[in-house]
């Protein structure tokens, strides 16, 4: 099996009691961005530190009204936001950052140095999204706005985003994309993973699905970063797709991610050898996820089951193809600031 359900998670009953906002660690709220009106696909995180605040990965441009509504429910004034952080510049994570930065005029936008160029050139973010997502999905992205150079705070491995007593340590993790970072907050022992960790949707019983991404996805780097993060004292794992890890043992969850990334690579290589066409590979992987969830198809929300899952598996498969065939090992040029 390429995909597995994390030990300790509920295989049958989804986390239906999840609310649109939830305090998942001290001072950290998980916000359901409700991508395209669908719950529990993409999570953003608000950290209210003792002195400063940060919002991580606000999602698609079209999700911003939902994010703003959730902030208002938390009685948080977006105009007072100090930092907007992108774990990476893919449209489902960073698409809303430009408009959010305009609404929070005193905020700084934190991104790895390689991501600065893309935030300043929103057509690159939109174009990248359209190149991997279907027209059905890309037509619902919304408009990506750019970020002024002066607003961008580039970071690299080991840098600190200071929120007061709470400090976010940057871990450069380029396996998913060359501008990818994860964040560790020592005070709450929480790690905000970005797409280094697997996708795990509650309506699919949290079956683990590696977050592959073309054109330079590298499992070797993903595994190295997972192992590096496993050396930290982690109490809470916070992922974008979707939410706080359901298992009570973060170290076990990390090990399950490692196993799934490795096994998926081996399984896809085996499927390649069978001569299946690309769409057949996607459908085979989708069937395995649905089977792994242990749920009847009619109990899974149609958009997740028929549209989103296929889209994410297509993108993931493209990433694994790049990794297995090794046709894009050299990262694109670093545009800098």
Q: Note the pLDDT of residue 327.
A: 75
Q: Give the N- to C-terminal CA distance of the chain in Å, as an integer.
A: 43
Average pLDDT of span 182-200 = 98
Residue 8 pLDDT level (bands cut at 50, 70, 90): low
Q: Does 307 have pLDDT greater than 90?
A: yes
Average pLDDT of span 98-113 = 98
Q: Does 12 have pLDDT greater than 70?
A: no
- Could you tell me which of 203, 208, 196 has the C-alpha nearest to residue 4? 208
What rounded mean pLDDT belongs to the chain? 94
What domains sit in the chain, N to C, each tagged with a CATH number?
A: 21-325 (3.60.15.10)
Model pTM? Answer: 0.94
Q: Note the pLDDT of residue 65.
A: 98
Q: Does 275 have pLDDT greater than 50?
A: yes
Distances (CA, A) of 212 to 4, 76, 174, 264: 16, 34, 12, 10
Interatomic CA distance for residues 24 and 292, integer angstroms: 26
Q: In what order do the strands lie in the sheet with 83-85?
A: 21-25, 28-32, 43-48, 53-56, 83-85, 108-112, 152-155
Average pLDDT of span 79-108 = 98
CB 101 within 8 A of CB 84: yes
CB 42 within 8 A of CB 92: yes
Q: Does 3 have pLDDT greater than 90?
A: no
Residue 7 pLDDT level (bands cut at 50, 70, 90): low
Q: In what order do the strands lie in the sheet with 181-185?
A: 160-162, 167-172, 181-185, 190-192, 236-239, 243-244
Q: Tens of pLDDT along 154-177?
A: 999 999 999 999 999 999 999 999
């Amino acid at each position: 099996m390429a995909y597995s359900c994390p030990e300790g998670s509920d295989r049958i009953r989804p986390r239906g009691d999840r609310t649109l906002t939830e305090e998942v660690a001290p001072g950290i709220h998980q916000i359901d961005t409700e991508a395209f009106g669908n719950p529990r696909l993409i999570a953003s995180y608000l950290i209210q530190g003792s002195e400063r605040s940060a919002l991580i990965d606000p999602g698609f441009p079209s999700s911003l009204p939902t994010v703003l509504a959730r902030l208002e429910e938390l009685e948080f004034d977006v105009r007072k936001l100090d930092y907007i952080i992108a774990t990476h510049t893919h449209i489902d994570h960073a698409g809303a950052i430009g408009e959010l930065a305009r609404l929070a005029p005193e905020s700084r936008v934190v991104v790895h140095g390689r991501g600065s160029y893309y935030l300043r050139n929103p057509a690159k973010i939109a174009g990248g999204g359209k190149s991997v997502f279907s027209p059905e999905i890309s037509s619902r992205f919304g408009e990506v706005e750019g970020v002024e150079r002066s607003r961008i705070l580039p970071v690299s491995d080991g840098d600190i985003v200071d929120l007061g007593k709470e400090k976010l340590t940057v871990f450069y993790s380029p396996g998913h994309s060359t501008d990818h970072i994860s964040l560790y907050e020592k005070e709450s022992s929480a790690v905000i993973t970005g797409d280094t960790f697997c996708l795990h949707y509650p309506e699919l019983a949290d079956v683990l699905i590696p977050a592959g991404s073309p054109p330079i996805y590298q499992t070797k780097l993903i595994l190295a970063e997972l192992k590096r993060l496993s050396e930290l004292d982690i109490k809470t794992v916070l992922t974008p797709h979707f939410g706080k890890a359901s298992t009570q043992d973060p170290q076990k969850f990390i090990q399950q991610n490692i196993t799934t990334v490795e096994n998926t690579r081996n399984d896809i290589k085996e499927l390649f050898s069978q001569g299946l066409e690309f769409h057949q590979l996607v459908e085979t992987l989708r069937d395995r996820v649905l089977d792994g969830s242990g749920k009847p198809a009619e109990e899974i929300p149609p958009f997740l089951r028929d549209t989103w899952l296929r889209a994410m598996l297509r993108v993931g498969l493209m990433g694994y193809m790049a990794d297995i065939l090794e046709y894009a090992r050299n990262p694109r040029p670093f545009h800098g600031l």
